[in-house]
A and B are shown apart, each in its own frame.
Chain A
Amino acid sequence: MSNVEIGLASILLILVLIQTGMHVSICLMAVSFLGVWLVKGRIAVAGALLGQAALDSVARYSFGVIPLFVLMGVLVGVSGMGRDVFDVAGQAFRRLRGGLGIATVFANAVFAAVNGTSIASASVFTRIAVPELIRQGYTPRFSVGVVAGSSVLGMLIPPSLLLILFGILSESSIGALFTAGILPGLLLALLYALLILGLATFAPRFVGRPSNADLRIMGRAEMATRSLPVLALIVLVLGGIYGGVFTPTEAGAVGALGALVIALVKRRLTARGFWEMLVETGHVTASITFLIIGAHMYSRLLALTGLPRAMNGLLEGLNLGLDGVLILYLVMIVLLGTILDSASILLILLPLMLPVIETFGVDLVWFGIVTIIAVEIGLLTPPLGVACFVIKSNLEDRTITLGDIFIGAAPFALTMVLAMALVFAFPWLATALL
């Protein structure tokens, strides 16, 4: 078998093993180990690669704050803050069909402005939104789907760890990338809202038959009071980032501490409750981060097989125009997104793609935004959809299966394809604010 063939075979093997219910991280590790052994011909090299990836692939500041973003999410839930903002948004959108779904998207867009990863968005809103959506009569599938779909706003609306990574790899301005992410982020939120309206009207079996008849009507004053703690947290995080007090990465720690203080002030936290929360944070962190480690091992195998370069050579050989190259590139990202995590896709594809793209004189900031949307679709697609995994590991209701989450997220993934096409066709969506 040639190295490229080993690469292709490894993809098939992963698809099969994940379907049989093997732990995803173990499956990625095992296939990487066997693959490197075959490519390099020595078991010691395969073992060394595993050991090294385990020790250094997540040893970064931006990964170090993942548990803190998770902790902030748990705290926002426990302290009742999430419930409050969610209730207020629910009030604001209550006259619309699917109003609470739209409220989830809206609240997620707000939260996206205080955090840099979709992982955080997914874990926070699984706790806040899913139980209430189900209580109001939305189907479990729709409830987890809307949370999965809107979690991707966390990476598109600045601050965003993925845009930072793109900026590093492409040597383009991170500040410009952040600004360019705003309009597409809002566009996606708007498309989601329209999607939910449409689904609630035309596909009630998918959405459920929600009733908010028992919803108490709040006065303006109450809405304001209940929004206050979350607004305070947003002001703390956003004000801190844009006021030059801390970086978007550090915001995880400050936000977690801020949420802790608010929870204590609201007297919602017992010592025992605090402890249980930390243990829960540990479970989520360990399972998600160990998965990311596995994905890194696998992306290292792929790079060693030379498969990405071979695909790239194929692309160049086809002699397509710019649009043809870009469309194939985006399709490739979406396909890779089914089996790799977001950061790995960027690490593998960008160094190969950038030289090709640069010969066409493409605006890198626009290219970056389209790339990120394409990469983020992968968060929602099986078998390896990180956002869906995060939701699964945060769900208190164990009866909702991973399959339910993927099915629920599907309409949102399709909507992302539409958003990607729109930004592709109308570059000003990304560049207008620059």
Chain B
Amino acid sequence: MATRIDRKFAALKAEGRPALVTYFMGGDPDYETSLKIMKALPGSGSDIIELGVPFSDPMADGPAIQAAGLRALKKGMSLTKTLALAASFRESDNTTPIVLMGYYNPIYIYGVDRFLRDAVASGIDGLIIVDLPPEMDAELCIPAIKAGINFIRLATPTTDEKRLPKVLQNTSGFVYYVSMNGITGSALPDTSRVADAVKRIKQHTDLPVVVGFGVKTAEQAKVIGTAADGVVVGTAIVNAVANTIRPDGSLVADPAEAVATMVQGLSSGVRAVRLAAAE
């Protein structure tokens, strides 16, 4: 069964360029504004949307995404509302894949079966759950696959040859290569090592491999995009939102516009990969 994610990567392959995968935090700075941000993403050049679910204790995230999650929670964001956000987006866009990214506890408390039912109904295509390694596949991964939702796994520099098959076993949609050991928003790693790592993963799977952690500029997106099937940008987008908010919570500029401008720039980076290839 081809999902929106599969169809998107097939289309991009035909187009000959990598995907731009954009992460933003649901509910940051508030529900309505984040819906506006989300709706503006595809038009700005985002191919796949990673919708962050705020969690009180984001153990794998750096300061920028931690702060974004707390801003969202303070404004009353929840998993229920994150699903509503996706459903609302789906009313006007039925093709851009949405991948929910977050931590397991809110889903566990929501109830796995109920969550999967509601996620499908809200047009969610994939899940990235940071704290569910393959060892815990029975929790959510297997039920998600049965429900028709892609379970996207992170591979990291610590994922060695021996472990890769286990990590890839129940992965579908795409593989997310975290290009360095660390929290989100850390510095960009050496690009030749990223290319090697992508090659290594591709020896084990036919799935597209996207690369994230540390990409901030169009130029970096282009460089990474040359070596991978997609580029994930998260912290830079979350920072673009943060930069429009004054300490007292009032807005300096329109967050949706700030994100759109940033994504347009990044998009020119991934699109340049096709131009370079065509030359």
Do A and B belong to a common assembly? no
